[in-house]
Amino acid sequence: MQLSYPMDPALVAIEHKVDEGIPLSMADGLALFTTPDLHNLGRMARKQKERKSGKKVFYVLNRYINSTNVCYAGCKFCAFAVDEFKEKDRVVRMAADVVFAKAIETGNNFNQIHIVGGHDPRQLSLDYWVPLMRKFKEELPHVQLSFFTAAEIEYMAKRHRMSFAEIIGTLKDAGLDNVNGGGAEIFAEETRKKICPNKVNSENWLAIHEELHRQGIASNATMLYGQIESLEDRIDHLIRLRESQRKSPGFNAFIPLAFHPDGNELNDCGWTTGLDDIRMFAVSRLMLDNFDHIKAYWMIQGIKVCQVALEFGADDMDGTHGSTDEELIYHSAGTSSGQYVDDREFRRLIEAAGYEPVRRNSTYDEFPHDWTPPEMAKV
Ligand code: V47
């Protein structure tokens, strides 16, 4: 017997707009965030997901490294940043050869290396990164470099007195394939000033991604939710991303980042709930009609919420990471996720949800699940 749920009348007109390809407005976004009709919200998001990627759900065999946690940006939501003079014992600052060695510690069968760090004056420079990027490209040509966030790129541009176009050109030449979506936080200026006053501003974050796309480098986008932002701030953020993608296309995935409260100044905000998270995925999918992928990142949401998110518009679970303990951002802020997920586990969860698991790289080229790289790294 087919069960059906009476539909919230507010969703009827919105579903019609989505079906017609009409971008949703601020008022539509508010209705989606506040509807009590979670079932139909999920159904609409799932329908939109299936228009984009059918039954496919993506994952990547990758390595994840935070190469430094030294950072002087002073963001209020951050438990990761360390002041090297005040907290010497907590400093992680890897030499370039250590980053390379950690990446291949558990083999070379991976398609992406994801690296983000902090505003570290000793590490965030072209002298450090360009030779390391070239080494990755020479020794592991099958691995895509998913390095930096726009915040780090702005920091390096200022430091080297280069324009965004110049620094991006230099990084592209060194082998950059993709830029991570961090640093976006929340674009609404009043809220942004309160949570990350010293970080790249919204205008520059968007300008950097638009320039990346013009130069043919893919990127992702994120939003930090569940801190002090309003629902209007969230929708404004999604609309600015949609507009940016229209102007200069190149975003592959949007990743909602649930705020983690441990060890930072916004601790009073507490944890998001499972329902906040699920709703966030569905609303993102419906607002961002020109983004192909909405990523439910297991390390951030917990793997069970991510599996449920597949019913609410998500089509990506991110990657395996390496089986070493390198992730610090979420592990400093209280995540109870581990450091590693076996790719068989991704496939099991995706299949159990009724979808088809697809192995990918950063730019969503597809691989058989048992693909292995043609050449061994010279270790
Ligand atoms: O911008 C920091 C976030 C981001 C906390 O591109 C926090 O696939 C929650 O770049 N609670 C950096 N979030 C991480 C990043 C990223 C993450 C996932 C996927 C991708 C991708 C990129 O981490 C920061 C900030 O928004 N963050 N502290 C916290 N307490």
Residue 359 lies in a domain: yes
Residue 9 lies in a domain: no
**Distance from residue 319's CA to the centre of ligand 1 (Å):** 15
Nearest CA to ligand 1 atom 6: 180
- 8 A C-beta contact, residue 342 and residue 105: no
Asked whether 182 lines ligand 1 (CB < 6 A), one says yes
- 8 A C-beta contact, residue 41 and residue 69: no
Residue 39 lies in a domain: no
- Residue 378's pLDDT is 46
Residue 85 lies in a domain: yes
Asked whether 212 lines ligand 1 (CB < 6 A), one says no
The pick from 63, 145, 201, 222 for probing ligand 1's pocket by mutation, whose C-beta has the most ligand atoms within 8 angstroms, reads: 222
Residue 176 lies in a domain: yes
Residue 44 lies in a domain: no
Q: How many Cβ atoms from other residues are within 10 Å of residue 211's Cβ?
A: 21
- 8 A C-beta contact, residue 321 and residue 342: no
- Residue 119's pLDDT is 97
- Residue 235's pLDDT is 98
Residue 8 lies in a domain: no
The C-alpha atoms of residue 261 and residue 193 are separated, in whole angstroms, by 19
- Residue 379's pLDDT is 44
Asked whether 224 lines ligand 1 (CB < 6 A), one says yes
- 8 A C-beta contact, residue 237 and residue 187: yes
Nearest CA to ligand 1 atom 23: 182
How much of the chain is helix, strand and coil, in % rounded to 5? 45, 15, 40
Asked whether 222 lines ligand 1 (CB < 6 A), one says yes
Q: Which atom of ligand 1 sits closest to the CA of residue 334? A: 30
- Give the DSSP H/E element, type plus range, for residue 18: helix 9-20
H-helix segments, 54-163: 96-103, 126-139, 150-159
Q: Tell me which residues of the chain have a pLDDT lower than 70.
A: 1-5, 375-379
Q: Which atom of ligand 1 sits closest to the CA of residue 261? A: 30
The token duo for 27 is 């008022």
Positive or negative, the CA dihedral 155, 159, 165, 170 is negative
Asked whether 58 lines ligand 1 (CB < 6 A), one says no
Q: Which of 106, 112, 116 is nearest to 58 (CA)?
A: 112
Nearest CA to ligand 1 atom 2: 78
Paired with 62 in beta bridges are 112
Q: Return the half-sphere exposure (C-beta side, CA atoms, 13 A cut-off) of residue 197.
A: 3
Q: What is the CATH number of the domain that holds 312?
A: 3.20.20.70
- Residue 374's pLDDT is 84
The token duo for 259 is 């705020």
Asked whether 259 lines ligand 1 (CB < 6 A), one says yes
Asked whether 225 lines ligand 1 (CB < 6 A), one says no
Helix axes 231-247, 274-287, angle to 10 degrees: 30
The C-alpha atoms of residue 249 and residue 369 are separated, in whole angstroms, by 29
pTM of the predicted model, to two decimals?
0.96
Q: Which atom of ligand 1 sits closest to the CA of residue 299? A: 18
Paired with 178 in beta bridges are 146, 218
User: Which residues form the domain of 62?
Assistant: 55-364
The C-alpha atoms of residue 55 and residue 60 are separated, in whole angstroms, by 17
Total number of domains constituting the chain: 1
**Distance from residue 323's CA to the centre of ligand 1 (Å):** 20
Residue 114 lies in a domain: yes
Q: How many Cβ atoms from other residues are within 10 Å of residue 347's Cβ?
A: 17
